[in-house]
Homo-oligomer: A and B are copies of this chain.
Amino acid sequence: MDKTSIIELKKVTIKKPVLVEGLPGIGLVGKLAADHLIKSSKAERIADVISPHFPHQVIMQKNGVMRMLKNRIYLIPGKKNDVLVLVGDVQAITSEAQYEVCGAILDWFEKKGGKTVITLGGYGTGKSPTTRRVFGSASHKTLISEYSKHGIVFGESRGSIIGVAGLLLGLGKLRGMNGACLMGETHGAYVDPKSAQAVLEALSKVLDMKIDISKIEERAKKGEQFMKHMERQAQKATEGALPEKNELSYIR
């Protein structure tokens, strides 16, 4: 297996879909928001994303069954547009891997007739925020006024957007797609459900869709535990390109 594969779990009709992405990142803001969106709506899992660029491991679940590390795509039926939500355990890490995975997801989304991509994330300030503004960065200048109506702040965030949240938009634009990255103000060093809540509120306006924000703090705790496990594994796995003493010990 040398390419990212999108495995459709059921055949469904999808109506002018908007892709919403929320994978692990700064303050877990995007992940928390997207996971919550799925849990609090009638979302149906329609596809799995399996990739040789994800860590080479499977997760042991409490029920005695293992599962692969993956990204997942959920469908939420909408009024004008259906919403496809991309969530998951991990992002690929190297540049080449990120481009390959994002390319595969955009190929699939394009076939479904998708034109709009909204990515969710945190904007780390290094300070404990008292407000939770939502910053935006758009694919096209013409979109800014529309998004600004919903209180999203454009032109104040600096630096770069690393990973899927940036590339899906950058590569999507090359295919004629449009959209924006919505970033919740956050410290950056810890998981921030309040920032995820702010992002969800903005998203709810952008999508013109009701989202139940309650219980998001509770859900945040579980997400944090899982990410801590992944980070421990990653630290072991990155100690060298070939097996060293300590690395061998964790390959089963």
Contacts and interface: CB of A to CB of B under 8 A. Distances in A.
B56 A99 contact: yes
A151 B68 CA distance: 25
A60 B180 CA distance: 11
B119 A55 contact: no
Contacts of A58: 137, 160-161, 166-167, 169-170
A18 to B, nearest CB: 18
Interface residues of A, number: 95
B100 A52 contact: yes
A171 B66 contact: no
Contact of A252 (B25, B139, B170, B247): B25
A188 B171 CA distance: 35
Interface string A37-58: 0000000000000101111111
A154 to B, nearest CB: 3
A233 B64 contact: no
Contact of A155 (B63, B136, B160, B188): B63
Interface in A87-105: 90-91, 93-100, 102-103
Given A2-B99, A138-B66, A250 B26 contact: yes
Contacts of A176: none
Interface string A154-198: 110111111111110111011000000101000011000000000
